Amino acid sequence: MGNIKVKIYEDKAPITASNFLRYVDAGLYDDTSFFRTVTLDNQPND
* pLDDT tens digits for range 4-44: 888 999 999 999 999 999 999 999 999 988 887 777 776 76
- Could you give the residue ranges of the DSSP H alpha helices within 1-46? 14-25
Q: How many whole angstroms separate alpha carbon 29 and alpha carbon 25?
A: 9
How many of the other CB atoms lie within 10 Å of CB of 20?
16
pTM of the full structure? 0.66
pLDDT recorded at residue 18: 97
What is the domain partition of the chain in residue ranges?
Answer: 1-46
Q: Where does the pLDDT of residue 46 fall: very low under 50, low under 70, confident under 90, or very high at 90 and above?
A: low
